[in-house]
């Protein structure tokens, strides 16, 4: 007997909206992520299935109504690629005056994030399991975000894969339209080449963005960005991390 697919299982297969050319052919897109087939545990699956209506948001072709979602007018910060969600939950817990939305395409991380949010009784967080570029394009209203966080995205180390890096001029331009006045962009990476790439891309928007770095490049890790287990392990091995923090002019 074939096992019935649950909501969480189906999410693993529908993280992007299929698009087609005028003659009906599937439109292949350059994506910044690969859908890994890591095991979705029974616990993570149950967390998604049982709590999605409370903590999850689905892609929609029109902008989200943040006031209706959170029940307040607090500023909204969007994080792309939250991994297992521990640092995002901790940030939401530490900043109850802000609302947080996290996007992650890998369902084990989504399930783990929901479980941790419930454990910490965090109310100011919602999660999305979908392609972030589509969410930004269609589901986020212009001028509605207080900030955009992108921590340790896939660096796509090989030069031939650099086009897959999510931080590109088109991406930053799109983010700028979604930020409100004085909104921020905060990137972090442990790959020096990607850090330099990020800085070069952001510098293309000098008229619209202000670099808060005193040296006009990177900032020390700010206290408000929780130290992840991955990052702490890297520190012990002597790995550096580069943070960039820009604000909208």
Per-residue confidence in pLDDT tens, the chain, 249 aa: 345 688 888 886 667 665 555 666 645 565 544 555 568 899 999 999 999 999 999 999 999 999 999 999 999 999 999 999 999 999 999 999 999 999 999 999 999 999 999 999 999 999 999 999 999 999 999 999 999 999 999 998 898 879 989 999 999 999 999 999 999 999 999 999 999 999 999 999 999 999 999 999 999 999 999 987 778 877 888 889 999 999 999
Which one from 154, 206, 217, 223 is the annotated catalytic residue? 154
The answer to the question of whether 121 is labelled as a binding residue is no
Q: In sequence order, what are the residues at sequence separation of 6 or more whose Cβ sits closer than 8 angstroms to the Cβ of residue 13?
A: none
SS3 18: coil
Q: Where in the chain are the domains?
A: 41-248
The answer to the question of whether 224 is labelled as a binding residue is no
**Homologous superfamily of 41-248:** Vaccinia Virus protein VP39 (3.40.50.150)
The answer to the question of whether 229 is labelled as a binding residue is yes
243 tagged catalytic: no
DSSP structural state of residue 164: G
Q: For residue 82, give the nearest of 226, 220, 190 by alpha carbon.
A: 226
CB contact at 8 A, 142 and 173: no
């Amino acid at each position: 007997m074939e096992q019935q697919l649950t909501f969480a299982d189906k999410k693993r297969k529908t993280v992007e909206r299929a698009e087609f050319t005028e003659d009906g052919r599937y439109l292949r897109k350059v994506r910044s992520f690969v859908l890994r087939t890591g095991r979705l545990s029974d616990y993570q699956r149950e967390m998604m299935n049982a709590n999605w209506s409370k903590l999850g948001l689905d892609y929609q072709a029109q902008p989200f109504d943040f006031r209706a979602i959170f029940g307040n007018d607090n500023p909204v910060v969007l994080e792309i690629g939250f991994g297992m969600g521990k640092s995002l939950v901790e940030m939401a817990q530490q900043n109850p005056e802000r609302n947080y939305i996290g996007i992650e395409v890998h369902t084990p991380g989504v399930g783990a994030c929901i479980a941790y949010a419930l454990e910490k009784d965090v109310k100011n967080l919602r999660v999305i399991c979908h392609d972030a570029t589509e969410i930004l394009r269609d589901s986020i209203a212009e001028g509605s975000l207080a900030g955009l966080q992108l921590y340790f995205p896939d660096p796509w180390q090989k030069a031939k894969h650099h086009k897959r890096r999510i931080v590109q001029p088109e991406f930053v331009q799109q983010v700028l339209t979604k930020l409100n006045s004085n909104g921020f962009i905060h990137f972090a990476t442990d790959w020096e080449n990607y850090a330099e790439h990020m800085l070069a891309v952001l510098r293309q928007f000098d008229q619209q963005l202000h670099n808060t770095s005193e040296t006009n490049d990177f900032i020390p890790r700010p206290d408000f960005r929780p130290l992840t287990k991955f990052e702490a392990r890297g520190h012990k091995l002597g790995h550096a991390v580069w943070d960039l923090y820009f604000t909208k002019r």
